[in-house]
Amino acid sequence: MSTGFAMPSEVVAADVAAALAEDIGSGDVTAALLADEADSAYLLCKEDAVVCGRPWFDACHRALDPDVRIDWRVEEGDRVAAGTVLATLQGRARALVSAERASLNFMQTLSATATSTAEHVAAVAGTGTRILDTRKTIPGLRQAQKYAVRVGGGCNHRMGLYDAVMLKENHVRAAGSLTAAIEAASAAHPMLPLIVEVETLEQLREALDAGCDRILVDDFDAATRREAVAVAAAHPRRVPLEVSGGVDLAGLRAIAGDGVDFISIGGLTKHIRAVDLSLKLGPPPAR
């Protein structure tokens, strides 16, 4: 099954193995009370949402019943209304109920991130500004949540501390100056993207002159942010600007309207509420 979104199968398998081991342990003592015979089930979405997490849902059920049949009625990334039956399943009753919680946990959490991301992306539509995630993810589920951000229409920031250099206040202080920190980072990691956080317009000019791949303007007020955009646009070296800190959905379009290239939002993966889903045995209700 292809979802149209890239996600390594080995990552999904590892996530699912950990989730099932955590939940089932030495065995599902309640499911053992059921007759181990064929049964059906359906996955119901109880609220408006963007669907995300199909690879994990499928892997949970197939890990316990390789012969389970899962028929999806929606695609990954579809926006659905409350009351939508997302999928039907045919398999062994014990396996269906044993996989229920882990499969729903993945779907509820990832759909929540995708739904939140889609709302933020819609708020800046037409401005050219892109929405980024951060490293503020649930431990052990970073790749899954960053996948969900992509499903929701957002873009991924660095995956971790290894795939980009990001200089912040403490790094600058330790190096002695912003320029010294940039020079040291460029020399040590010439093949990695270099992102620099600045706190003043003076630091912005210094970062532009020293050279980097992106500049993060942190907690600038609206007037200073607009001046920062003008300063960056006038500089011979075109460096994208990212805004972070103090960002909420209501003020998102105004920030994008100032002309920044990126807005990074930790809340996409941190401040989420699980989408209300349920897996019910039996056939779905008649339409």
First to last CA, the chain: 26
Is the distance from CB of 169 to CB of 203 less than 8 angstroms? no
Q: Give the CA angle between residues 61, 64, 67 to the nearest 5°.
A: 75
Is the distance from CB of 31 to CB of 63 less than 8 angstroms? no
List, as one string, the DSSP characters of 145-203. HHHHHHHTT-B---SSSSSSEEE-HHHHHHHSSHHHHHHHHHHH-TTS-EEEEESSHHH
Is the distance from CB of 159 to CB of 146 less than 8 angstroms? yes
Residue that is written with structure tokens 């209304």 in the block: 81
Is the distance from CB of 161 to CB of 15 less than 8 angstroms? no
Cβ-proximal residues to 270 (8 Å cutoff; 6+ apart), any chain = 134, 136, 137
Residues annotated as part of the active site = 101, 136, 168, 197, 218
Q: Is 151 helix (H, G, I), strand (E, B) or coil?
A: helix
Rounded distance, CA 88 to CA 260, Å?
44
